[in-house]
Amino acid sequence: MIPEKVTPLILLRTIRHRARQLVGACVVLTFALVPVWYRLPTSPFDSPLYVTRFLILLPMTMAIGLWLLAALPGLRDLRRSKWGASWATIMLTLALWAFFSGAWAFAKTRAPDAATNAALTFGTAALFAMVTACVGSPGAIVRALALGLLVNAALTVAGAVGQGDLGLRAIGEFPFAPDMPGVSVIVSGGWRYVRPYGLLPHPNILAGSLLIGLLAAGALYFSGARVWRAIGGAGVIVGTVALLLTFSRAAWVGAAIGGVAFLLAIYPLLRDRRVRARLIALTAAVVLVGGLFFIAYRPLINARVGAGEEPVELRSVADRLVYTDFAIRAIGERPVFGVGMGSFPWRSAAYLRDTFYELRGDNVHHVYLLATAELGIVGGLLLIAALLYGSAGMVAAVRASKNASERATRGALLAAVVALAVIGWFDHYPFTILHIGAAWWGMMGAGLTTPDQTGSSSETRNEVIVTPSSTSVTVSSAP
């Protein structure tokens, strides 16, 4: 029975308050599911689009829906932010441009859903990033990523050591073995090494998810709580082993540059002798792990970086050059509008018909070329502007941090965004894969929140709460 004093307005405000409480949980759950590719048997949205069956899409859309139901908490703070408002405007403009590109997409006749699927992938990630910028908790996100790393790294190491899948088909693991056709392998002499997949469809995507968690674990290692320091230190060591075992060259480079970015972000903390000691101990552990890996896997490392001149690796490099050439040709043909979101694989397939290459249509392994080829110079510039404005805002938030733990947390988010931007120079998955895109833009949104922002905007600080055990109405400050 509804109490007499409870009016529809009070109920609406109560619903908004409860929705506000649930948004944060959905955001954290989304980040926890980044390394999980699992697709539902049928689309919960009753849609034929490929992206709608991903498990991770459920908490993402719930976060967006609950945020809208809660009357957009945090939006006023974002609008007042020097960098946040511009970043959000650019992101939404890019998402709309991606949807509009379906009208002139190269594949709109042969694959009418291709543009919609790709635009929905980016658009959902963009909206999720806005929600994260408004209500996300950087600390909670970093903890979720670090805890996820421990599980993800354990699966990776087990798959690499056992040289095969772990039989976890029920949660979406892909089958792989050294002699299985189509898997990613490295060959050096008689050594045939299959790269681990974890719960993702490719070792490179696995490496990207590991890298995100690795930097998050680094932040926990410098936090004040002893238990989180232990989890962070263990995560960095195990995560480093797992990342190395993926043999992802782009992720290795991203980890190196992201690590430098993280050290620059926490540099003021090194005035503390205890922090310096932790850094020295962690660096020594990472160097030791790297040295042992180099000794054990030197032939494969030589093959992977080209020193071994193995045909598999040479073919990989040659294929990427072909798609790079196709992307440049596509930009030259349609410089302003591009071939349409999600249409580059179809455009490259058309180019391949006039060649002798035994290849199929695929994305160019370069985020910035791909965005420009599909969305034209307009889309390419919007993407770069979003990265620049977002990164500038994150740097400002790092500098405004009030304590060591907060600075390390925000520094890790910034470093992860930088690392994925570097990976984007060598691969396309930060732009094309929902999971990594949600993490990339979502971490940027979380890092844009100002250190004094609690996630509640001024219009929702005082919420009217209905207490079920009483007919009275109380006013409570939203957490």
pLDDT digits (tens, 9 = 90+) for 1-52: 445 566 777 777 777 778 888 999 999 999 999 999 999 999 999 999 999 9
pLDDT band at 310 (very low <50, low <70, confident <90, very high): low
pLDDT at 467: 33
pLDDT band at 221 (very low <50, low <70, confident <90, very high): very high
Sorted by sequence, the CB contacts under 8 Å of residue 425 that are 6+ apart come out as 250, 366, 367, 368
**CA distances (Å), origin 315, targets 140, 322, 358:** 42, 11, 11
In this predicted structure, the answer to whether residue 477 has a pLDDT above a threshold of 60 is no
253-300 pLDDT, tens digit per residue, is 999 999 999 999 999 999 999 999 999 999 999 999 999 999 999 999
pLDDT at 201: 95
In this predicted structure, the answer to whether residue 360 has a pLDDT above a threshold of 60 is yes
pLDDT band at 478 (very low <50, low <70, confident <90, very high): very low
pLDDT at 144: 96
pLDDT band at 120 (very low <50, low <70, confident <90, very high): very high
pLDDT band at 451 (very low <50, low <70, confident <90, very high): low
Candidate from 115-124, 164-173, 373-382, 415-424 with smallest mean pLDDT: 164-173
In this predicted structure, the answer to whether residue 181 has a pLDDT above a threshold of 60 is yes
58-95 pLDDT, tens digit per residue, is 999 999 999 999 989 999 999 998 899 999 999 999 99
